[in-house]
Structure 1
Amino acid sequence: MHGIPAELCFHMKTMKKTIGTIKILTVYILCGLISPLNAFSLRNCTVVTSQDDVQPKVLCYKMGFFKVPSYIPTNAMVFDISSNAFSQIKIGDFKDLSNLRYLNISNNKISWIEDGALDSLSNLTHLNLASNKLNRISNGLLYGLANLLELRLDVNDINNIEESAFINLQNLKVLNLTKNTLRRIERVMPVLAALRLEELYIGSNHFDVFNSYEISKKPLSLTRLDISNNPLTTFGLTENIFPTLNHLDLSNCGQNGSVVWNITEKSYFSSVKTLYFMDVHMSLQSVSAVLKIFKGTLNKIRLNRNVKFNMEPLLPNACSPMLRVLRLIGNGMTNLTEHMFKPCSNLTELDLGENEISHLSPTILRTFTQLKILLLQINKLTQITNTFQTLSTLEFVDLSINKIAKLDCNDFGNLTHLKVLYLYGNKISKISSCHFRDLKSLEVLKLGTNDLLRISDAFINGPHSLKKLQLSFNKLSVIETDTFRNLSQLNSLETQDNQISQIKPFAFRGLKNLRYLSLSSNKISAKTFRGSNVFSGMPNLQNLDLYSNSISFTENKLKNPPFAELKQLKIIAIHSQRRGIGNMPSNLLQGLSNLEMFSGGNMNLLHLNACTFQFSPKLWFLDLSKNALSDDNAIPAELFHPISMLTKLILSRTQLRSLNFLLDANLSRLSTLKAPGNEIDAVNKTLIQSFHNLKVLDLQKNTFTCDCNNAFFIDWAVKDNFTQVIYLNKYACSYPSTLRGMKLSDFNTESCIMNIDFICFLCSSIVVVITLLFAFSWQFLRLQVVYAYYLLLAYLYDSKKKHQQEFMYDAFISYNKQDEPWVVEKLIPELEGKQGWRLCLHHRDFEPGKPIMDNIIDGIYSSRKTICLITRNYLKSNWCSSEVQVASFRLFDEQKDVLILVFLEDIPSHQLSPYHRMRKLVKKQTYLRWPKDGEDSRVFWQKLRMALETKEVLCGL
Structure 2
Amino acid sequence: MGPGEKVEKTKPKRGSKCFKLSLIFFLLNIGSFALPVTGFALKSCRISFDIALCDKSNLTAVPRDIPSTVKGFDLSANKISRVHVTDFTNLPVLTKLDLNRNYISQIDNGAFASLVSLKKLNLNNNKLVQLGENLFDGLTNLTELRMIGNRIKAVASTSFKALTSLKFLDISHNKLHHMTTVHSILQHLPHLRELYIKNNNLTTFQSWELTNRSLQLQYLDLSQNPITTFTVTANVFPNLTWFNIGGSSSKKQMKWDVRDNTSFSRVSSLDIGGLQMAFSDMKTLLETVNSSLTSLRMNAMKHNLPVLINTSCTIPTMSTLYLRRNKLTSVSSDLFKLCINVTELDLTENRIQNNHRDAFRSLQSLRILSLRHNRLSSVPRNLPTLVELDLSSNKINKLKCDDFANQTKLRQLSLYQNSISALSDCVFKDLIRLQVLKLQTNHMSNLNGAFKKYLPNLRELLLNQNELNVITYGEFQGLQSLQNLSLMQNQISKLEDGCFIGLTNLINLLLQNNHITEKSLNSSIFSDLMNLRRLDLRENHIKYISSSALANAPFSQLSRLETLAIPLQHSKGKFQLPRNFLQGLTNLLVFNIRNIQLLSLHEDMFKYTPQLQTLDISSNEIRDLSPGLFSPIQNLKSLYISRTSLRSLDFLRFANLTKLEFLQAKKNQYSVIGEEITNSLPALVYVDLQGNSFTCDCDNAPFLQWAKNNNQTQVFDAYNFECNYPVNFKGMKLFDLNIRFCTVDTEFICFASTACTILVFMVVSFTYHFLRWQLVYAYYLFLALLFDTKHKNKQAPNQYDAFISYNTHDEPWVIEELLPKLEGEQGWKLCLHHRDFQPGKPIIDNITDAIYGSRKTICVISHRYLESEWCSREIQVASFRLFDERKDVLILVFLEEIPTTQLSPYHRMRKVMKKRTYLSWPRVGEHREVFWEKLCQALKSKEDLGEDSFLLTVVDRQF
The TM tier, using the shorter chain, reads 0.7 to 0.9
| Partner SS, residue 269 of structure 1 | coil
Deviation per CA, 1:288-312, whole angstroms, max 9, x where unpaired?
A: 6644554554211112233x43521
Picking from 97, 104, 118, the partner of 1:103 is 97
Within 2, Cα distance between the matches of 1:700 and 1:37? 25
Q: What corresponds to 1:412 in structure 2?
A: 404
Picking from 685, 689, 702, the partner of 2:675 is 685
Match status 1:130 vs 2:121: no
Within 1, Cα distance between the matches of 2:590 and 2:523? 24
Within 2, Cα distance between the matches of 1:305 and 1:641? 64
Q: What corresponds to 2:216 in structure 1?
A: 221
Q: What corresponds to 2:529 in structure 1?
A: 538
Match status 1:657 vs 2:652: no
Shift of the 457–470 alpha-carbon distance from structure 1 to 2, 3 Å rule, reads same
Give the C-alpha shift of residue 48 in structure 1: 3.5
Contact 1:342-1:367 within 8 A present in 2 as well: yes
Give the C-alpha shift of residue 264 in structure 1: 1.5
Contact 2:141-2:166 within 8 A present in 1 as well: yes
Deviation per CA, 1:235-277, whole angstroms, max 9, x where unpaired?
A: 1111111111111112233621322221213332111111122
Contact 2:14-2:742 within 8 A present in 1 as well: no
Shift of the 726–129 alpha-carbon distance from structure 1 to 2, 3 Å rule, reads same
Give the C-alpha shift of residue 703 in structure 1: 0.7
Within 2, Cα distance between the matches of 1:482 and 1:636? 43
Within 1, Cα distance between the matches of 2:418 and 2:744? 75
Give the C-alpha shift of residue 437 in structure 1: 1.5
Give the C-alpha shift of residue 725 in structure 1: 0.7
5+ residue gaps in structure 1? Answer: 1-20, 51-55, 759-957
Listed as ranges, the matches of 1:920-939 within 5 Å are none
Picking from 606, 625, 631, the partner of 1:641 is 631
Match status 1:90 vs 2:84: yes
Within 2, Cα distance between the matches of 1:277 and 1:407? 37
Q: What corresponds to 1:569 in structure 2?
A: 561
Match status 1:675 vs 2:662: no
Give the C-alpha shift of residue 96 in structure 1: 3.6
Picking from 343, 352, 355, the partner of 1:360 is 355
Q: What corresponds to 1:806 in structure 2?
A: none
Counterpart residue identity of residue 546, structure 1: L
Alignment RMSD (CA, Å) = 2.7
Within 2, Cα distance between the matches of 1:419 and 1:28? 76
Contact 1:292-1:318 within 8 A present in 2 as well: no
Q: What corresponds to 1:892 in structure 2?
A: none
Counterpart residue identity of residue 581, structure 2: L
Contact 2:631-2:655 within 8 A present in 1 as well: yes
Picking from 246, 260, 274, the partner of 2:269 is 274
Q: What corresponds to 1:954 in structure 2?
A: none
Picking from 326, 336, 344, the partner of 2:339 is 344
Listed as ranges, the matches of 1:848-927 within 5 Å are none
| Partner SS, residue 719 of structure 2 | helix
Within 1, Cα distance between the matches of 2:344 and 2:697? 69
Deviation per CA, 1:532-568, whole angstroms, max 9, x where unpaired?
A: 4011211100011100011101232212111111110
Contact 1:255-1:282 within 8 A present in 2 as well: no
Shift of the 541–369 alpha-carbon distance from structure 1 to 2, 3 Å rule, reads same
Deviation per CA, 1:132-158, whole angstroms, max 9, x where unpaired?
A: 222222332112211111111222222
Give the C-alpha shift of residue 282 in structure 1: 5.4
| Partner SS, residue 710 of structure 1 | helix
Counterpart residue identity of residue 407, structure 2: L
Picking from 447, 455, 458, the partner of 2:439 is 447
Give the C-alpha shift of residue 329 in structure 1: 1.4
Give the C-alpha shift of residue 366 in structure 1: 0.6
Counterpart residue identity of residue 549, structure 1: N
Picking from 488, 494, 514, the partner of 1:496 is 488
State which drifts further: 250-259 or 735-744: 250-259
Shift of the 29–667 alpha-carbon distance from structure 1 to 2, 3 Å rule, reads closer
Match status 1:305 vs 2:300: yes
Runs of 4+ in 1 over 3 A off after TM superposition: 21-38, 45-50, 279-297, 753-758
Give the C-alpha shift of residue 666 in structure 1: 1.5
Contact 2:595-2:620 within 8 A present in 1 as well: yes
Within 2, Cα distance between the matches of 1:340 and 1:285? 20
| Partner SS, residue 174 of structure 2 | coil
Picking from 195, 198, 203, the partner of 1:200 is 195
Picking from 568, 571, 575, the partner of 1:579 is 571
Q: What corresponds to 2:155 in structure 1?
A: 161
Deviation per CA, 1:68-89, whole angstroms, max 9, x where unpaired?
A: 2224323322122233333222
Contact 1:706-1:735 within 8 A present in 2 as well: yes
Q: What corresponds to 2:924 in structure 1?
A: none
Picking from 713, 720, 724, the partner of 2:703 is 713
Within 2, Cα distance between the matches of 1:400 and 1:590? 42
How many residue pairs match? The answer is 725
Q: Highest Rg: 1 or 2?
A: 2
Counterpart residue identity of residue 508, structure 2: Y
Q: What corresponds to 2:797 in structure 1?
A: none
Contact 1:233-1:255 within 8 A present in 2 as well: no
Q: What corresponds to 1:509 in structure 2?
A: 501
Picking from 688, 706, 715, the partner of 1:725 is 715
Give the C-alpha shift of residue 365 in structure 1: 0.7
Contact 2:518-2:543 within 8 A present in 1 as well: yes
Counterpart residue identity of residue 183, structure 1: H
| Partner SS, residue 184 of structure 2 | helix
Within 2, Cα distance between the matches of 1:76 and 1:26? 36
| Partner SS, residue 389 of structure 2 | strand
Picking from 511, 516, 519, the partner of 2:511 is 519
Give the C-alpha shift of residue 98 in structure 1: 2.1
Within 2, Cα distance between the matches of 1:708 and 1:35? 20
Match status 1:58 vs 2:52: yes
Contact 1:278-1:305 within 8 A present in 2 as well: yes
State which drifts further: 171-180 or 286-295: 286-295
Shift of the 625–586 alpha-carbon distance from structure 1 to 2, 3 Å rule, reads same
Within 1, Cα distance between the matches of 2:491 and 2:368? 34
State which drifts further: 241-250 or 113-122: 113-122
Q: What corresponds to 1:616 in structure 2?
A: 609
Give the C-alpha shift of residue 696 in structure 1: 0.9
Percent identical across equivalent pairs? Answer: 37
Q: What corresponds to 1:330 in structure 2?
A: 325
Q: What corresponds to 2:598 in structure 1?
A: 605
Picking from 288, 296, 318, the partner of 2:312 is 318
Counterpart residue identity of residue 612, structure 1: M
| Partner SS, residue 401 of structure 1 | coil
| Partner SS, residue 222 of structure 1 | coil
Counterpart residue identity of residue 117, structure 1: A
State which drifts further: 741-750 or 550-559: 550-559
Give the C-alpha shift of residue 607 in structure 1: 1.3
Deviation per CA, 1:492-526, whole angstroms, max 9, x where unpaired?
A: 01111111111111111111111000111111001
Contact 1:256-1:283 within 8 A present in 2 as well: no
Q: What corresponds to 1:188 in structure 2?
A: 182
Counterpart residue identity of residue 740, structure 2: E
Within 2, Cα distance between the matches of 1:199 and 1:28? 68
Shift of the 754–196 alpha-carbon distance from structure 1 to 2, 3 Å rule, reads closer
| Partner SS, residue 654 of structure 2 | coil
Give the C-alpha shift of residue 419 in structure 1: 0.3
Higher relative contact order (CA 8 A, sep 6+): 2
Match status 1:486 vs 2:478: yes
Match status 1:171 vs 2:165: yes
Contact 1:563-1:590 within 8 A present in 2 as well: yes
Q: What corresponds to 2:206 in structure 1?
A: 211
